Chains A and B, each alone.
Chain A
Amino acid sequence: MLRTDEILSTIEMLHAEHLDVRAVTLALNVEDCAAPSVDHLCRKLKNKIVSRARRLVETCNRVGAKYGIPVVNKRLAISPASTILAGHGHAAAVQVARTLDAAAAECGVDFVGGFTALVHKGISSADAVVMDSLPDVLSQTRQVCASVNVASRKAGINMDAIHRMGHVLLKIAEATADRQGFGCAKLVIFANIPEDNPFMAGAYMGAGEPEATVNIGVSGPGVVCSALKRRQARERNLTLGDLAEEIKITSFRVTRVGELIGREVAAELGVAFGIVDLSLAPTPMVGDSVGEILKTLGIDRIGAPGSTAAVAMLNDAVKKGGLFASSSVGGLSGAFIPVSEDAALAEAVERGHLVLEKLEAMTAVCSVGLDMIAIPGDTPAETIAAIIADEMAIGVINDKTTAVRLIPVPGAKAGDRVDFGGLFGATPVMEVRNTGASDAFVHFGGRIPAPLQSLGN
């Protein structure tokens, strides 16, 4: 029999603090859809996705209602598009992307990830097709999300791919200039891309995964923030150790909810349950913010000295609580700091408290990288590439996933405000200093060799 205090504490977390399951992502292997004719490929692709995923949204809604926990986003992820586009060209890539868009709409999901190329050691002809098609793909589709892995601990950093992506980003921004470069918000450039990440825009179906699997992203930071505020209201003389403990306990409970829902959704769909991703993923809603947590931990101005240490503590405590709660933890599993999607971070940028370099430092100790950052549209491709290279270096040397989701906003300069709408939020355009000063470094090209950490055997 459950105890009354157990029921009451869960009710408080679920309803007063609005706990939800942030994302249920059904990942599908679509490699068997490859075909010499692009029309045939697209027919197989749409049939497979729709037949496997048509019950996803209804199942998530029903299971969520049974437990009184909403599943906010239902998504799809597929094998890297490069695996089915081998032997095809640009037009085929765009047609595949449109097919994915149509399949996602038919299933009622909000995004489909996996328009992906893995180029950390080199660029195959199919990878090149995927990368170069991104301006058309991301401007002509609504729900397709893309990712490119340009670095790994084992391979090092592919500077040729990074340089190419610098130019591709600018072209995507131009192709979606009427939406302030929004196409770039659907593209993540990774180091050490996880194969089982449920979060967009970087979700894709990894090579080591089963035929189909359900991966779960748990609730946002609002629950953690509320737990910290409640503890501080109840007790005095708390130490950071006490607050870390509170984060850990909350993370444990949130993770358990995610796994409960994920396993049931997977069982109902007849597919394998994959992982729970512990990431604290903010939304632009007030209170659902990693920045707010930092304020609750005593950092009055996000970006002030202490911000990196506070994020590190938060990230570590979340992992510890989540790991004890579930034996199926994966994905990115950290605290996200996406600027436009986090109202407190966007405000800190607006007030001049938070700059690009401090964000980069914070990403060294959390997940996932320089995320949802608007930069001036005239930032040179080489400077964008150098920003990407810096972030990839943090990932490769620290043996962690890092990523970049930069949006060069056409015609905008530092300080201008852009609004991407909905979950993508609004932010001031951030200043990029020392533009043009890394050109020679980027033009060397080639590959930064794999670090010492790659030789772990």
Chain B
Amino acid sequence: MKARFDNVYVLDVMSDDHPGIVAAVTTAVESLGGNIDACSQTVLGGYFTLIMIVSTPNPIDPAVIAEQVRQAGTANSPFQVLARRANAPPKLAPADPCGRFVITAFGKDQPGIVRRFSQYLAGRDINIVDLYGDRTGDEFVLIGQLEVPTRWDIGMLQTDLEQMGEELGFTVKLQHENVFVATNQLRVSYST
């Protein structure tokens, strides 16, 4: 992503999900002369969240941007908005060389599942680049896409995570992402 203008902001909008949110937010951004350089939305449990990188030709107070977008919401469906400057390039990946892995965990839901696994990963400088969790009935499924520093022995990590899963009554697997690429994508481009 390369911003069109020099003044770059990150904008975060949350709302209950309904048609027209993106149109309302982008209209507000455009009214300030802003350009949308990147955006991503997610809907979870009926709630909508949108993150955008916006750039403008002239500096604007982030509070002004946030207020302009907030006013695009309605009384029945208010927008919760955060805006901040994003001029420093974010650190996208750990400095260490990494392999891309996927952790999956399935089991009976209980508080603390995501915490236990994420604490273990954080303690080993393993970056979570994408996270998905869902409770269906009593069952909870957790999927994390990870950047694992190559200094770790994968067999050891697998053993640790499987042991932790066993203690929690969860089936846990840590697998290189290429197996998911191979089985799902027509044109394969394998990571290391």
Contact = CB atoms under 8 A, between A and B. Distances in A.
Interface of A: 1-4, 6-11, 13-15, 62, 65-69, 253, 256-257, 259-260
A65 B154 contact: yes
A259 B183 CA distance: 11
A3 B132 CA distance: 10
Interface of B: 102, 104, 129-130, 132, 141, 143, 145, 154-155, 158, 171, 173-185, 188, 190
B102 A7 contact: yes
Given A1-B129, A7-B143, A68 B188 contact: no
A253 to B, nearest CB: 4
12 contacts: A2-B145, A4-B143, A6-B180, A7-B143, A14-B175, A66-B154, A68-B173, A68-B175, A257-B179, A259-B182, A260-B178, A260-B179
B104 A67 contact: no
A259 B185 CA distance: 14
Contact of A66 (B104, B176, B184, B185): B176
Contacts of A69: 179
Q: Give 5 closest A-B pairs by Cβ, nearest first.
A: A68-B175, A256-B182, A6-B184, A67-B179, A253-B183
A69 B182 CA distance: 13
Nearest to A253: B183
A13 to B, nearest CB: 7
A361 to B, nearest CB: 35
B183 A67 contact: no
Contacts of A4: 132, 143
B177 A2 contact: yes
A4 B181 CA distance: 12
A10 B184 contact: yes
Main secondary structure of the interface of A (DSSP, over half): helix
A2 B102 contact: yes
A13 B180 contact: no
B143 A256 contact: no
Contacts of A15: 171, 173
A209 B141 CA distance: 47
Nearest to A69: B179
Contact of A65 (B141, B158, B181, B188): B158
Contacts of B180: 2, 6-7, 10
B179 A8 contact: no
Nearest to A254: B183
A4 to B, nearest CB: 5
A257 B182 contact: yes
A326 to B, nearest CB: 10
Given A2-B102, A68-B175, A260-B178, 20 more contacts: A1-B129, A1-B145, A6-B180, A7-B143, A8-B143, A9-B183, A10-B184, A13-B183, A14-B179, A65-B154, A65-B155, A66-B175, A67-B175, A68-B179, A69-B179, A253-B183, A256-B182, A257-B182, A260-B182, A260-B190
A291 B135 CA distance: 38
